[in-house]
Structure 1
Amino acid sequence: MGLYKRKRSPYYWITYKVDGKRVYESTGTKNKKLAEKIYAKVIIDIEEGRFFQTESRRRTFEELRDRYMAEFAIPNKAPRTIEKDRNTFKPLSTFFEGYTLAKITPQAIAEYKQYRRTQGIKVSTLAKELELLRAALNVAVREWEWMDTSPFLKVRIEQPKNSIYRWLTTDEEALIVLECADWVKEIVIFALNTGMRQDEILSLKWQDVNLGRKTLIVVKSKNGEQRTLPLNQAAMGVLQSKGKVRHISGLVFPSQAGTKINPGNLRRGFNAARGKAGIDHVRFHDLRHTFATRLVQRGVDLYVVKELLGHKSIKMTMRYAHHYPESLRHGVDVLDESGDTMVTLAQKRATALP
């Protein structure tokens, strides 16, 4: 019988063949009788031709891992990062081996979290593993159409409490921009003034830009939701310059061949400028942190910052709350406006007393 238990899983698993391919999947239940019924139904559906496999039921974790490494990691990442990804995939492979993508559910991910915690790993290590799995699944949704939605829309990745991020001073920004090649410079300036993620910028098309209203729509957002961004003068300047000659592809920032710029090429271009400027430990993503940090330092409300960044939860935005406490002063100064009247009235009453 194709019903069995796995050491690391509390659930019963089933295995069967469909279209000549061996499939292994969890029943999602600890009840043996229920698991037997699930298995029996699958077998009957296969025999009667009523078993239809969607891409998510047909594709496996191993296929996801291998294609992600081949098409995204190896062409776009540095050798050291590629090796890190390979190592990060190892514990994921140990747990999710044999899973179809349909079985990588929020519940399965929660089980993986518990499985790794019992091994005593650091919060930061678990976060990196889950972030890599999320990245691969996002590609499976957006690029390959292997899934309709990512399970990570309902999964929270806990970050270490002492996690830090880097942001640029105005002097550092000027030095990096000065050393950038022209095509990198315009992307860097645009990132610093919109807070958009790298992929959002590289995927931006003219059809989503409204120069008249000074806005753009972020279509390919990380959290799966569109957002509209207002554009300041610096961002508008970049778009007006780029708009003089538009490529047939419709991309705002196309490569010389007219295709989407390879993220690895942008990273190398940015790192080259950073190196020439003598500035260490700065990633392209830190331009987004710089955008958010400066807004908060200038007293912009955290909810506004959240909307501009496209954060799904205000908790993500709260990491910037400690910047420039003076920006919070207006909140308490409001009390003075009403308090002055109360104090004045009290003083008058005190003066009137015999």
Structure 2
Amino acid sequence: MGLALRWQDVDLKEGMIHVRRTLVRVTNDSGSGKTTLRYHEPKSKQSRRIVPIPEALLPALKAHKARQNEEKLLLGQAYEDSGLVFCAEDGRPLDPSSFSKRFTELAANLGLNGVTLHSLRHTYATRLLEANEHPKAVAKLNTLFVKKKIPSAPGGK
């Protein structure tokens, strides 16, 4: 989902994202049943990867970073700067479950019933294949298809 993504993991010059961690809600060790957000290593080797940023997205990311820097200046010490790319206005991490639920609600309000963040991964992979991207390249970008046997690229790549 990208809610653990830090700016230090985004290379805007080279157009690459380094996936190094995830953000999950876990039960506290206190036995109280309360939960907290924690950063974890990705579950699998395939999840820890470098993903190219589509060129069309780079200007939007740069503008987002500029807006976020303005918010930091406005809030001053009240801004909790953990270097997150996607965070609350005060810099705190966004709850993955709440974020996902809100996305689904917004999609439904636009008449896109049943569209979830997870389903966008399928759509992304499908659109790449329709644009004649090689299946191996799509598999590297979208780990949903890694379990399937995919033919090698021409020339054995």
| TM-score range for the pair, normalised by the shorter chain length | 0.5 to 0.7
RMSD over aligned CA atoms reads: 2.5
Q: Specify whether residues 269 and 208 from structure 1 end up closer, same or farther in structure 2 by C-alpha distance, changes over 3 A only.
A: same
Aligned partner letter, 1:240: K
2:5 to 204, 207, 212: 204
Aligned partner of residue 315 in structure 1, secondary structure = coil
Aligned partner of residue 85 in structure 2, secondary structure = coil
Percentage of identical aligned residues = 29
Contact residue 10 and residue 18 of structure 2 kept, 8 A = yes
- CA shift at 1:205, angstroms? 0.3
Aligned partner of residue 139 in structure 2, secondary structure = helix
**Distance in 2, Cα, partners of 1:267 & 1:216:** 21
Which residue does the alignment assign to 2:55?
233
Structure 2 residues without counterparts, runs of 5 or longer: 22-41, 73-80
Which residue does the alignment assign to 2:124?
291
Contact residue 8 and residue 83 of structure 2 kept, 8 A = yes
The structure with more helix, counted as a fraction of residues: 1
Max radius of gyration: which structure? 1
- Structure 1 residues 1-354: aligned runs within 5 Å: 198=1, 201-220=2-21, 221-225=42-46, 226-244=48-66, 245-246=68-69, 248-310=81-143, 313-315=146-148
Contact residue 108 and residue 114 of structure 2 kept, 8 A = no
The structure with more strand, counted as a fraction of residues: 2
What TM-score, normalized by structure 1, do the two folds share? 0.31
- CA shift at 1:257, angstroms? 3.2
Q: Specify whether residues 288 and 222 from structure 1 end up closer, same or farther in structure 2 by C-alpha distance, changes over 3 A only.
A: farther
Aligned partner letter, 1:215: M
Q: Specify whether residues 296 and 312 from structure 1 end up closer, same or farther in structure 2 by C-alpha distance, changes over 3 A only.
A: closer
**Distance in 2, Cα, partners of 1:202 & 1:268:** 14
Tell me which stretches of 4 or more aligned residues in structure 1 moved more than 3 Å. Answer: 310-314
Contact residue 223 and residue 311 of structure 1 kept, 8 A = no
